[in-house]
Structure 1
Amino acid sequence: MPSHAHTESPSSPSSASSASPSSASPSPYDPLRRERDHLAAARAALRAMRHDVEALDITDVTGNWVNAKILAGEIEVRIKALADLADTPLFFGRLDYLHAPGVELAEGAEGESFYIGRRHVHDADGDPMVIDWRAPVSQPFYRASRTEPLDVALRRRFGYTGGELTAYEDEHLSDPAESDATTSKLLQTEIERPRVGPMRDIVATIQPEQDEIVRAGITGSVCVQGAPGTGKTAVGLHRVAYLLYAHRERLARTGTLVIGPNKSFLRYIEQVLPALGELQVKQATVDDLVAHVEVRGTDGATAARIKGDVRMAQVLRRAVRAGIRMPTEPVMVVRGSRRWRVPAYELEEIVRELAARDIRYGAAHDALPQRIAHAVLVQMERAGEAPDDRVQDAVARNPAVKAAVKACWPPVDPAKVVLRLLSEPEFLASCADGLLTEEEQRAVRWEKPARGLKSARWSAADAVLVDEAYDLVQRTSSLGHVVLDEAQDLSPMQYRAVGRRCSTGSATVLGDLAQGTTPWATSSWAEALAHLGKPEARVEELTRGFRVPREVIAYASRLLPAIAPGLAPATSVRESAGALAVRAVPAGGLDAAVVDACRASLGFEGSVGLIAADTRIPELGAALAAAGLDHLSPGEETSATARLTLVPASLAKGLEYDYVVLDEPAAVVAAEPDERTGLRRLYVALTRAVSGLTVLHATPLPQALAA
């Protein structure tokens, strides 16, 4: 597609049809110099914007100290958002329109030019110097093509080295002589740039199919089925940034949340949104959301699977409502010299009506005294009195009414309900009758019943049950938008926990069915979205990879018939000769071969990940230390300088490294409870490499991979 690439020197990344060596005296019409001048002017304008905010005097603006503190906090956030990050290009592209957007020009008149960047920058007169990538006028930068130019005459991409603008590349979309088949070399270079440290944004390289998902409306939910390397995580994060731009006031009230599979993953992605100017998006794991109790225990695969089954929602509903009792005595309310009697049958009608309605247990508990009080007020009105709302509230607080409510609809502690359910066989049997078999009930019961909340050894699955019980008692607050990544690994009960957090908002669900590695991993997105409460969400599939080399993804795709037969293999735009090496080593020589492979990978630029079965991690860590190779654990990349990371296979999901050394695939498979889950775990490990993958094995490869 690009017809002209211009660089500072021949070594810059491009297929330069002309070059301007840095030693040459630049012409006053030198485009590269003009672009550098615009970059310098834009940076100066950004500094001025920040200085203007820092100079604001709010001493006499607010009426009280509370408002002053809130305003000061907002100003502080604004100052941080206006920071000029030296290593982050202020703009990465330019659009030259044939016509001014929204304006009819005379024949022969030229349109406007817009610089596209991570944030908006304007000069002292308020004229834009850089346009936010999320603005409507920026969309053609990602969508325009020669077949559909969208009124764009020229699209220019910029190349940077160490924060300095060193190259540009032009695409003349309205020129019929240009080919639409050539890949942008600057775009390819940006995609393949070494990945040291945390995940970075892809704002300069978003592809049309990705942009369509990023800019989808806030009212609908989207599920993205993405093969490895298709950028689904980045798409989800950029979608958050876009929605905050397009619906800032709405989401400022309702909030946004990004949910990841583990802390290592969250640390890996934590810099993406701040780099895009969004500093207040919260991030959490599902375990963080349901942290009502301290998790100190673990479940076996069978118990965890049953506790995660959607049938447990009905078991818990029965357990929460197990204390409801029909009244057998009337209520006598004394007010002054008068007595008002509500008979037992009328009380029973009120209780049965509330029990039949699909409302929270706590809401019904709060409504019951008001309903009883209303029955008393009806009698008062019949007797000629004219009671008002204050009288009804007083009757609802009457000791006799409160006693009746406590007897019929007692208050419930959600954690204690779950504690009783898992500790008392008789209570579990009554609540699970017709839902769980006796064998399943035995599987979920605690071997040693806890005597109280403090002694209980809650598991992660138990915490989800407690969260469900809390929602049955009191409605969980809903956010405006939730991004759920690695969603294929959630149980139905975990989906419900997430769905409660966006019941009145929307969601972006990201995952890959082929990478499901939990015993309860979902088999279809339709099923998962139903549990989430978003059955109407549209499912988008990303199959074109930009990260994993073609040779590597083809090798990993050998596993698809065994782990996800319904999915099409991913394709890759990246060709990298020699990206894959599979070597058998003699028994007893595996550790030494792994160390040698890591040392060889460190000879290239970028990050290196050594992925192995969890049980092999201590041994390999000792081998690396003995060889003098400094290494990190997942998540430490954000604060350390070493380029080699030792990664347990159970934590590899969502991470990526320029070079991966995979230790003993058979051990990765054997570490899981069943072969299919093990092969899925292996699929994840095989697809973490960006530039090269070395597979070392002393035992035979799994049959599905060796075919």
Structure 2
Amino acid sequence: MREDVEALDISDVTGNWVDAKILASTIDARIKALADLSDTPLFFGRLDYEHAPGVELAEGAQGESFYIGRRHVHDAEGEPMVIDWRAPVSQPFYRASRAEPMDVLLRRRFGYTGGELTAYEDEHLTDPGESETASKLLQTEIERPRVGPMRDIVATIQPEQDEIVRAGVTGTVCVQGAPGTGKTAVGLHRVAYLLYAHRERLARTGTLVIGPNASFLRYIEQVLPALGELHVKQATVDDLVAHVPVRGADPADAARIKGDARMAEVLRRAVRSGIRMPTEGVVVVRGSRRWRVPAYELEEIVREMAERDIRYGAAHDALPQRIAHAVLVQMERAGEAPDDRVQDAVARNTAVKAAVKQCWPPVDPAKLVLRLLSEPEFLAQAAEGILDAQEQQTILWAKPARGLASAKWSAADAVLVDEARDLVQRTPSLGHVVLDEAQDLSPMQYRAVGRRCSTGSATVLGDIAQGTTPWSTASWAEALRHLGKPGSRVEELTRGFRVPREVIAYASRLLPEIAPDLAPATSVREAGGDFAVRPVGAGELTAAVVAACEEALAHEGSIGLIAADPDVAALGAALDAAGLAYLAPGEETSAQARLTLVPASLAKGLEYDYVVLAEPAAIVAAEPDRRTGLRRLYVTLTRAVSGLTVLHAQELPAALAG
């Protein structure tokens, strides 16, 4: 298929050089999409239908067989050999059961080792003599060791996951998923499905995947290309609002207030605070005639624009035309016949521009936020009745900046600038946005993301129990309201496939304190003898951690050493002294480098076959409050796929003791 595209001759098929370049670019993209992927088989399943889907067969006629794969593959004559997993005919591979066979006689799963076909497994869905058994190949695929970045799960998507993946493009879906339930994979596969089912629409409007940090985005970046989708953008929330250079950091209390949804109204007031009613009319001179718009008529125009509550910048651009229209009305009454060119000329008149500047001055969003955070009087005016005096004092900069160049913006300040920019000029909307680890966003960050999909839809992924910011959301209903998608569908995934059941049961002891409304997750995995909680003597922790890493490296797969952020440097030095090479989060593991040293604050969303967790009490103590610390500990405990070793010299949190 790739060679066929490469052999196309487009030298004389376009009318001009622009079309030729566009066509050449399209062909190059198609060639890239058809690239071979090492160790990634094109098909993983087969469906034998009793009847041909969508076709009425004569009595006694047989149905058809379809091979299911990551992408559509056809032969030299164009006949399909492998059906894309997203096609309607592939859906029964994920949803058919003995209770509801969906006209499928046989479902076959193929097993691969290093890209070679090594096993297959059949399910006869309509055979009454065959009992329902768990798929061993499915279990093997789920438990396959992780080396390198995150991979796709097209061969192992479960019915409850498939229902979310194939949800319509017009509705927003929120997925509350316990650790290991595959919510991130579900979100990425949903993007791939939507691009298949609504390619033309989303190619025009765009798609975006938003993750919590750059390490996480590097970890997931290969999933969509493996499914043939090469043009989905990825970013963090900080990337979206990078209108000012972030060089500072806020204390937790200041960041919490700046992230509060009330700041949206404070900013709206600040943006519109410069609007002034005119004190005198406008006189426009054209040739020998003078046309005057009196102050009361000008005030009516300005007041009407203010009451319409349209974007400040749009109103600023429309106001000269409104004043010009008032002049043209007078011209017509005087017997003249002005056209649009005359109106545009009047709108550009010096007197009109001066009146607009006085009544509706232009606003620079960054300068506005700078003034708001530097001038107590201006903040008090905008925040009256919204923020109390103490809250205002908390968000004011200790050292007011004298200009944009000297300002030490924080991440929360950048979100405020983004809000102000939207109040001035509408933010362009995409067709679909996937927001992962959404529980950690502040209301103002939700608003920033919501602006990017105001006319599109979203897939929101997260786990309330893993919220580790001081402003983490308390409920998905509240989060969806801030996102601008109130009343959206919320789905809960509780059956885990990644985290061993002993590990998730141990971590779930923390749920009554960190998320009492959530049901504990279950798991299809068993850790066997690879789960241990080991106390060590004072002063022996570092040596025990190094020994545990050496022990874990004897196993196949990736190893993550997770520790409290302040302890990472010392542990890194100990690994160096022991001659153990290690990677930073997000760097790709390989057969030669399988150990990653992970600060607890960056562990979210990552996974490793074996995890060595150093000093749970230190992880809890590194956070600003106990509840956030326990949530951070819950995150780190649930990063293991096959084995977990917890080492502690200090006393464990009460819920984990014993």
TM-fit CA distance, 1:59: 1.8
Aligned partners of 2:527, 2:53: CA distance in 1, in Å?
A: 41
Q: Among 546, 549, 555, which residue is 2:506 paired with?
A: 555
Aligned partners of 1:219, 1:490: CA distance in 2, in Å?
A: 23
Question: For residues 533-572 of structure 1, what are the structure 2 equivalents within 5 Å?
Answer: 533-572=484-523
Is 1:510 equivalent to 2:443 in the alignment? no
Letter in 2 for 1:495: Y
Quote the residue 2:331 is aligned against: 380
Aligned partners of 1:521, 1:611: CA distance in 2, in Å?
A: 22
Quote the residue 1:5 is aligned against: none
Quote the residue 2:120 is aligned against: 168
Aligned partners of 1:447, 1:59: CA distance in 2, in Å?
A: 65
Question: For residues 147-158 of structure 1, what are the structure 2 equivalents within 5 Å?
Answer: 147-158=99-110
Is 1:65 equivalent to 2:17 in the alignment? yes
TM-fit CA distance, 1:66: 2.6
Quote the residue 1:77 is aligned against: 29
SS of residue matched to 1:483: strand
Structure 2 residue runs without a partner (length 5+): none
Q: Among 236, 252, 255, which residue is 2:206 paired with?
A: 255
Quote the residue 1:137 is aligned against: 89
Contact 2:244 2:414 in 1 (8 A): yes
Quote the residue 1:192 is aligned against: 143
TM-fit CA distance, 1:627: 0.9
Which stretch shows the higher mean deviation, 271-280 or 393-402? 393-402
Q: Among 129, 154, 175, which residue is 1:224 paired with?
A: 175
Contact 2:47 2:68 in 1 (8 A): yes
Is 1:298 equivalent to 2:249 in the alignment? yes
Contact 2:583 2:589 in 1 (8 A): no
Aligned partners of 1:222, 1:469: CA distance in 2, in Å?
A: 28
Q: CA RMSD in A?
A: 0.9
Q: Among 398, 412, 426, which residue is 2:349 paired with?
A: 398
Is 1:695 equivalent to 2:636 in the alignment? no
Q: Among 380, 390, 404, which residue is 1:453 paired with?
A: 404
CA shift digits 1:102-150 (9 cap, x unpaired)? 1111222210000000000001111100000000000000000000000
Quote the residue 1:240 is aligned against: 191
Is 1:343 equivalent to 2:294 in the alignment? yes
Q: Among 261, 277, 281, which residue is 1:326 paired with?
A: 277
Quote the residue 1:526 is aligned against: 477
Letter in 1 for 2:320: P
Aligned partners of 1:547, 1:699: CA distance in 2, in Å?
A: 29
Quote the residue 1:670 is aligned against: 621
CA shift digits 1:522-550 (9 cap, x unpaired)? 00000000000001310000000000000
Runs of 4+ deviating beyond 3 Å: 638-641
TM-fit CA distance, 1:67: 2.5
Aligned partners of 2:247, 2:22: CA distance in 1, in Å?
A: 39
Quote the residue 1:146 is aligned against: 98
Letter in 2 for 1:176: P
Aligned partners of 2:88, 2:319: CA distance in 1, in Å?
A: 52
Aligned partners of 1:67, 1:293: CA distance in 2, in Å?
A: 38
Letter in 2 for 1:115: Y
Question: For residues 420-431 of structure 1, what are the structure 2 equivalents within 5 Å?
Answer: 420-431=371-382
TM-fit CA distance, 1:384: 1.6
Contact 2:147 2:590 in 1 (8 A): no
Q: Taking structure 2 as the reference length, what is the TM-score of the superposition?
A: 0.99
SS of residue matched to 1:196: coil
TM-fit CA distance, 1:224: 0.2
Aligned partners of 1:68, 1:460: CA distance in 2, in Å?
A: 44
Quote the residue 1:39 is aligned against: none
Letter in 2 for 1:202: I
Which stretch shows the higher mean deviation, 638-647 or 671-680? 638-647
Letter in 2 for 1:536: G
Which stretch shows the higher mean deviation, 547-556 or 106-115? 106-115
CA shift digits 1:162-202 (9 cap, x unpaired)? 1011111000001011112x110001000000011100000
Q: Among 413, 426, 429, which residue is 2:364 paired with?
A: 413
SS of residue matched to 2:405: coil
Quote the residue 2:8 is aligned against: 56
TM-fit CA distance, 1:68: 2.1
Aligned partners of 1:305, 1:91: CA distance in 2, in Å?
A: 49
Quote the residue 1:275 is aligned against: 226
SS of residue matched to 1:690: strand
Contact 2:568 2:597 in 1 (8 A): yes
CA shift digits 1:334-377 (9 cap, x unpaired)? 11121111000111111111111121000000110111011111
Aligned partners of 2:462, 2:492: CA distance in 1, in Å?
A: 10
TM-fit CA distance, 1:231: 0.1
Letter in 2 for 1:529: L
Aligned partners of 1:639, 1:254: CA distance in 2, in Å?
A: 37
Contact 1:221 1:536 in 2 (8 A): no
CA shift digits 1:283-310 (9 cap, x unpaired)? 0000000000000000000010000000
Q: Among 399, 413, 424, which residue is 1:473 paired with?
A: 424
Aligned partners of 2:247, 2:38: CA distance in 1, in Å?
A: 44
Quote the residue 2:311 is aligned against: 360
Aligned partners of 2:657, 2:25: CA distance in 1, in Å?
A: 58
Aligned residues: 658
Aligned partners of 2:433, 2:607: CA distance in 1, in Å?
A: 23
Q: Among 87, 94, 100, which residue is 2:46 paired with?
A: 94
SS of residue matched to 2:632: helix
Contact 1:295 1:459 in 2 (8 A): yes
Aligned partners of 1:629, 1:164: CA distance in 2, in Å?
A: 33
Contact 1:552 1:579 in 2 (8 A): no
Contact 1:268 1:638 in 2 (8 A): no
Q: Taking structure 1 as the reference length, what is the TM-score of the superposition?
A: 0.92
SS of residue matched to 1:376: helix
TM-fit CA distance, 1:639: 7.5
Contact 1:267 1:638 in 2 (8 A): no
Aligned partners of 1:178, 1:592: CA distance in 2, in Å?
A: 54
Contact 1:297 1:459 in 2 (8 A): yes
Quote the residue 1:44 is aligned against: none
Aligned partners of 2:425, 2:21: CA distance in 1, in Å?
A: 32
Aligned partners of 2:545, 2:276: CA distance in 1, in Å?
A: 66
CA shift digits 1:15-48 (9 cap, x unpaired)? xxxxxxxxxxxxxxxxxxxxxxxxxxxxxxxxxx
Letter in 1 for 2:151: R
Aligned partners of 2:7, 2:108: CA distance in 1, in Å?
A: 36
Letter in 1 for 2:296: Y
SS of residue matched to 2:597: strand
Contact 2:558 2:589 in 1 (8 A): no
SS of residue matched to 2:250: coil
Identity of aligned residues (%): 86
TM-fit CA distance, 1:640: 8.4
Letter in 2 for 1:697: H
